[in-house]
Amino acid sequence: MAFEDPRGVPLTAASAESVRAYEEALDRILAFAGDPVGALDRLTERDPACVQAHLAKAAIHAWALHPSFVGRAREALDLARKAGPLLDHERRQAAAVEAWLDGRYADAGREFDALLAAQPRHLTALFFAHQADFFAGRTGALEARPRRTLEALTADRPGRSFVLGMWAFGLEENGRFAEAEEAGREAVAAAPHDVWAIHAVGHVLEETGRSAEGIRWYGERERDWAENSYFAVHNAWHLALYHLDREETGAVLAVYDRFLTPGRRSILLNLCDGAALLWRLHLAGLAVGDRWESLAEAFAAKYRPGCHVFDDVHAMFAFVGAGETAKATRLMADLAAIAEGVDDRALQVRRAGLPVCRAIAAFGRSDWRSAVDLLSGLGADGLLMTGSRAQRDILELTLIEAAIRAGDRSLARDLLERRLQRKPESRRIRRDLRRLAA
Ligand SMILES: [Fe+2]
């Protein structure tokens, strides 16, 4: 039977109760809270005809970006199709997930474009399209998609503030910091547990170098982002970045030990945050004890090359940081083979993943000049590493440190002075400028 969700989007299900249960699961998806897969499992058990629940499960597993979830994503797609006949938007969601699993990121984006043009208030599709845009490096779409949905969604419709949070992040990634901060703060005021909106404001504070405010922003609402959320590790990573900028090393390590230490439940993206933080400490010449070793071990257990370029690069940081030269060399050989492919995943590896990994390896063997050349040569392809501005900033930070150590003072000074304009309060930048002047 066809029902409608609270925003007027048609849903196939056996009962109105399933529509209500799906809305609850969707709230968890949008808030990165609790266990949305568990909620969807219970729903499909009671109502196998609820196509949207199968599709959401498929999407969650597909955007987990890990080979061990691919089978579960395809299984959920099969169940959705068997529960059919599918509505047009359901068919397009299935096609988008399938394209993503095949590494055809542009095709996935096109399916979402068509779906959202017909159903702009489809919040599940918007959420996963937003994630897809993020992991495919489509910066413009991060802003445009949520904006179009906001235009179609009146203020009284449930879920609107989550869209505002997505829009805030999109604005931030497109450098529109003041508008991003305003939208993000409005979203957090409407839904304090919206960790994506908390994160969007966190990004603005990072990009504009307002680290004291950032520490306050996260400190004041720790219960909202740090508890019952599988996005907590990434928000903690942002908190650690502010402390790093203020050269508060003890606080950085305390955040790492509390939130980022690899554990049984760590997902790959958590390990990436850990590597990104330890590498920044490494660049600053700070010792991190045996943290690299346990992180590299966790990567070796969970990571497989070529699933997503962002993971490839961060696995490389971990292997080089831990001095695991053999693993680092093997990874580069695997990536060189993957780069020969023809899909969008291969393109990301060819143009960004491989040169970045080679630069990390060069940095690891103190070949500062090669690291400088490889990172300077990236140009706009650096975007294909994907991730946010703050995550890709690790490329510039590595370039600056390599330039200083290579004796390329004019390049280092140029980069640092431009950074200081963006982040005038930064202690870290001023220290590096003093090193150059010495
Ligand atoms: Fe972030």
pTM for the model: 0.94
pLDDT per residue as tens digits for the range 181-229: 999 999 999 999 999 999 999 999 999 999 999 999 999 999 999 998 8
Higher pLDDT, 355 or 266: 355
Report how far ligand 1's centroid is from the alpha carbon of 387 (Å): 8
Report how far ligand 1's centroid is from the alpha carbon of 385 (Å): 14
Quick one: pLDDT band at residue 75, thresholds 50, 70, 90?
A: very high
For ligand 1, a single-atom ion, the residues with CB < 5 A are 388
High-pLDDT (> 70) share of the chain, % = 100
Res 68 pLDDT > 90: no
d(CA 178, CA 184): 10
Report how far ligand 1's centroid is from the alpha carbon of 173 (Å): 10
Res 65 pLDDT > 80: no
Report how far ligand 1's centroid is from the alpha carbon of 434 (Å): 29
For domain 138-254, the CATH class is mainly alpha
Report how far ligand 1's centroid is from the alpha carbon of 16 (Å): 37
Report how far ligand 1's centroid is from the alpha carbon of 373 (Å): 27
Report how far ligand 1's centroid is from the alpha carbon of 393 (Å): 11
Report how far ligand 1's centroid is from the alpha carbon of 172 (Å): 11
High-pLDDT (> 90) share of the chain, % = 90
Q: What is the pLDDT of residue 118?
A: 97
Q: Could you tell me whether strands 10-12 and 2-4 are parallel, antiparallel, or unpaired per DSSP bridges?
A: antiparallel
Report how far ligand 1's centroid is from the alpha carbon of 206 (Å): 9
Report how far ligand 1's centroid is from the alpha carbon of 184 (Å): 13
Report how far ligand 1's centroid is from the alpha carbon of 351 (Å): 23
